[in-house]
Amino acid sequence: MPRDNYPATVNEVLDPNAKFKPAALRAVRAFARSHPWTGTVDERKEKFRKLNHDLAAAYGIPEPELVFDHLDGSHSGDSSYSPAPYRITLRGRLSVVTMLHEWGHARRMGERGACRWSINLFRRCFPRQYAKLEHVGHMLVRRGQNGGRAYLAGQYTGDPETRQ
């Protein structure tokens, strides 16, 4: 998907009236109640697997394969969705926003749509956590964490090997 489809800012996609399927809201709210940031890495992976399953059921689509790769606690910017073989790969950090963003792609959304869907759904279901984040380009990042490998709009040329 072309990089230029990303919104330049989070504000471009914020919509307090965004609509979501009730079953999807139930799935993400249940995920929020599971406290996805707590537990061992294996326990947290299981929470993400359950969300993956529950979102697939909510939207009546096959469950994408969910792969965890190089979870070193860094950044989640190298996470991805691949339509063939229908796979979401989470890399670096187990990020709720990234998981939702990649799920937007699994629902056949482009970058702007995936940003809009994931950011608004996160804001609706995780309001306290959302309030703690800052907007950096099209992304939500933890305060003080915008000096890392955050890919801002216009910085990524589309090379999957170098992410430049």
Over residues 46-94, the pLDDT tens digits come to: 999 999 999 999 999 999 999 999 888 778 877 889 999 999 999 888 9
Euclidean distance between CA atoms 141 and 55, whole angstroms: 24
* Nearest residue to 88 via CA among 126, 128, 45: 45
Burial of 124 (0-12, 13-18, 19+ CB in 10 A): middle
Over residues 1-49, the pLDDT tens digits come to: 444 587 777 767 778 899 999 999 999 999 999 999 999 999 999 999 9
- Top pLDDT among 112 and 162 is at 112
Beta strands in 12-157 (DSSP E): 65-69, 80-82, 87-91, 133-136, 139-142
CA of 90: how far to CAs of 25, 123, 131, 149, in Å?
22, 20, 23, 16
Band of pLDDT at residue 132, cut at 50, 70 and 90:
confident
- Over residues 103-129, the mean pLDDT reads 92
Of 99-103, 115-119, 142-146, the least confident: 142-146
- Over residues 87-103, the mean pLDDT reads 92
Euclidean distance between CA atoms 91 and 144, whole angstroms: 21
Question: Coil, strand, or helix at residue 137?
Answer: coil
Q: Count the Cβ atoms, other than its own, within 10 Å of residue 16.
A: 7
Q: Is the pTM of this model over 0.85?
A: no
Angle between helices 111-125 and 22-33 (to 10 degrees): 60
Q: Quick one: pLDDT at residue 101? A: 92
Going by the DSSP 8-state scheme, the letter that residue 10 receives in this structure is: G
